[in-house]
Amino acid sequence: MPRSNRPRSRRGADRPDEPLDLDRITAGLRRVETKRSGSWNVQQVGQAAAQKVYRCPGCALDVPIGQAHIVAWRADGLMGEAADLADRRHWHSHCWRMEP
How would you write the pLDDT of the chain (100 residues) with one tens digit per residue?
A: 666 676 665 555 555 666 766 555 555 688 999 998 899 999 999 999 999 999 999 999 999 999 999 999 999 888 888 899 899 999 999 999 998 8
pLDDT computed for residue 29 by the predictor: 82
The answer, as to whether pTM is greater than 0.85, is: no
pLDDT of residue 81: 85
Locate the DSSP E strands across the chain: 30-35, 38-45, 54-55, 62-63, 69-74, 89-91
φ and ψ of 99, to 5 deg: -65, 130
Q: Contact, 23 vs 47, CB < 8 A?
A: yes
